[in-house]
């Protein structure tokens, strides 16, 4: 398998999942502005959407969209317990979490990276994120991970988007459980390895 990624982008989530699953994979960095990979290939030829992540399987099939990719990864290594079994109620709870992170948190951060977006608009998005973080803080004040005591691909995804808080001046001080959770996930050896591979470790 090959993961197409950009350092620190949402592709960090499947990168962490691949390492946690113990799967063999290659990495190929993508210049998202130029739409070229580090080998000089046209990234649109890999993923017509033009953004990361994209996971190229050994048979040539390309999967896109982070929540789909991380579930595929989890299913390749069920012994790692990165996702509950397909068809179980717990699996639907995982999908619920992935959808929540994708639509309510990930997309909530997106306008904050746009220098042309007005400050008034950014404040609205930051206020919305604060409401979502309050919900997460309540969950994480009771649980080690999003689904209880088992690390799953949802944790890899949430960790990835929480990394964006500091660069865009989103204050997490009011959410101590979220802050502690982020620090806890950061210490996982496979998370550390993914951060190092993407040049994100200080």
The string of pLDDT tens digits covering residues 39-70 is 999 999 999 999 999 999 999 999 999 999 99
Whether 75 and 125 share a structural domain: no
Percent of the chain predicted with pLDDT > 90 = 99
Instruction: Calculate mean pLDDT across residues 14-29.
Output: 98
pLDDT the model gives residue 119: 95
Report the alpha-carbon distance of residue 123 to residue 118 in Å, rounded. 9
Let me know whether 166 and 75 are in one domain. no
pTM: 0.97
Q: For residue 32, what are its two tokens?
A: 């998202």
Q: Give residue-wise pLDDT tens across range 90-141.
A: 999 999 999 999 999 999 999 999 999 999 999 999 999 999 999 999 999 9
Same domain, 56 and 96: no
How many Å apart are CA 143 and CA 150, to the nearest integer?
Answer: 9
pLDDT of residue 201: 84
Q: In 3-state terms, what secondary structure has residue 26? A: strand
Q: Does 26 lie in the same domain as 69? A: yes
139 is a domain residue: yes
Burial of 21 (0-12, 13-18, 19+ CB in 10 A): buried
Q: What is the pLDDT of residue 25?
A: 98
158, exposed or middle or buried, with CB in 10 Å at 0-12, 13-18, 19+? Answer: buried
Q: 76 with 105, same domain?
A: no
- The answer to whether residue 133 sits within a structural domain is yes
Percentage of residues of the chain with pLDDT beyond 70: 100
Q: What is the CATH number of the domain that holds 162?
A: 1.20.1050.10
Are 96 and 184 found together in one domain?
Answer: yes
- Averaged pLDDT of the chain: 97
CA–centroid distance for 68 within its chain: 11
Q: Which residue carries 């865009």 as its tokens? A: 168
Residue 73 lies in a domain: yes
Nearest to 182 by CA among 127, 136, 116: 136
Q: Are residues 29 and 107 in the same domain?
A: no
Rounded to an integer, the average pLDDT of 151-175 is 97
Banded model confidence at residue 202, pLDDT cuts 50, 70, 90: low
Residue keyed to tokens 């390749």: 76
Tell whether 129 and 180 lie within a shared domain. Answer: yes
- In a domain, residue 129? The reply is yes
Which residues span the domain enclosing 52? 2-80+190-197
Integer Rg of the chain from CA: 17
Claim to verify: residue 128 and residue 57 sit in the same structural domain: no
Number of folded domains in the chain?
A: 2
Query: What is the rounded distance in angstroms from the CA atom of residue 62 to the CA atom of residue 170?
Result: 34
């Amino acid at each position: 398998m090959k993961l197409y990624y950009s350092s620190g982008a949402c592709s960090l989530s499947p990168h962490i999942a691949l390492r946690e699953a113990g799967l063999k994979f290659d990495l190929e960095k993508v210049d998202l502005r130029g739409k070229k990979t580090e080998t000089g290939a046209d990234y649109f030829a890999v993923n017509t959407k033009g953004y990361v992540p994209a996971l190229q399987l050994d048979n040539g099939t390309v999967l896109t969209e982070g929540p789909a990719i991380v579930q595929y990864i989890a299913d390749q290594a069920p012994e790692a317990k990165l996702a509950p079994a397909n068809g179980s109620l717990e699996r639907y709870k995982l999908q619920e979490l992935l959808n929540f992170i994708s639509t309510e948190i990930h997309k909530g951060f997106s306008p904050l990276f746009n220098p042309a977006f007005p400050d008034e608009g950014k404040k609205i998005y930051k206020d919305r994120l604060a409401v979502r973080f309050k919900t997460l803080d309540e969950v994480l004040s009771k649980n080690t991970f999003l689904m209880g005591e088992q690390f799953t691909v949802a944790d890899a995804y949430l960790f990835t988007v929480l990394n964006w808080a500091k660069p865009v001046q989103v204050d997490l001080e009011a959410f101590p459980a979220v802050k502690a959770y982020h620090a806890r996930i950061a210490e996982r050896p496979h998370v550390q390895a993914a951060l190092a591979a993407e040049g994100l470790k200080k």
